[in-house]
């Protein structure tokens, strides 16, 4: 499936978002500039029943997050145009998107990178390469922690 064909269903209004949230309808935004990694995680998450959108860079991630309000974002940190570090910082500073859990999914594996990811607002940190099952487990944990209330009011 091409990125152009991978679209979320019509955008909900913020007033109706919480009322329509149902398990199994969670929307995931996968952000990675490496095509194979982006597609692998997207296809696996679709197989598990998630609705998936993808982005190739931090600027696309910001645009999709602000327009579509996904339930969770998987964010690579080394991205073109706008880094994942800066995209996450902007998402967490924006009233419209600060509630969305962001999981860093990155090749930056040193402890200082994990600390920096938390400082910019990442809610979880997973080092690549990561098995899709491990990523899915972390997504479930973050969504459970959010209690299904990741869409704006």
Q: pLDDT tens digits for 31-44? A: 999 999 999 999 99
To the nearest whole number, what is the mean pLDDT of the chain?
82
Q: Is residue 65 part of a domain?
A: yes
Q: What does the pLDDT look like over 68-87, one tens digit per residue?
A: 999 999 999 999 999 999 99
Q: Is residue 6 part of a domain?
A: no
Q: Which of 113, 104, 41, 44 is nearest to 74 (CA)?
A: 104
Query: pTM, whole model, 2 decimals?
Result: 0.79
CA within 13 Å, CB half, 110: 3
Total domains present in the chain: 1
With 50 as the cut, is the pLDDT of residue 145 above it? yes
In terms of residue numbers, what domain contains 133? 23-146
Q: Is residue 132 part of a domain?
A: yes
Pairing of strands 72-75, 27-31: parallel
Q: Is residue 46 part of a domain?
A: yes
**Residue 32 or 20, more confident:** 32
Q: Is residue 90 part of a domain?
A: yes
Q: Is residue 7 part of a domain?
A: no
Residue 28: give its domain's CATH number. Answer: 3.40.50.2300
Q: Is residue 92 part of a domain?
A: yes
Q: Is residue 2 part of a domain?
A: no
How far is residue 42's CA from residue 29's CA, in Å, rounded to a whole number?
8
């Amino acid at each position: 499936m091409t990125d152009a064909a991978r679209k979320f269903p019509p955008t909900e209004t913020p007033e109706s978002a919480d009322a329509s949230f149902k398990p199994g309808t969670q929307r995931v935004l996968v952000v990675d500039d490496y095509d194979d990694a982006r597609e692998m995680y997207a296809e696996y998450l679709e197989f598990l029943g998630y609705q998936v959108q993808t982005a190739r860079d931090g600027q696309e991630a910001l645009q999709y997050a602000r327009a579509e309000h996904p339930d969770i974002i998987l964010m690579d940190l080394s991205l073109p145009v706008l880094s994942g570090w800066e995209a996450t910082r902007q998402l967490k500073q924006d009233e419209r998107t600060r509630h969305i859990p962001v999981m860093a999914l990155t090749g930056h594996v040193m402890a200082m990178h994990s600390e920096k990811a938390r400082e910019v607002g990442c809610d979880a940190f997973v080092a690549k390469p990561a098995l899709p099952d491990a990523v899915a487990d972390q997504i479930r944990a973050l969504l459970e922690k959010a209690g299904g209330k990741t869409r704006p009011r």
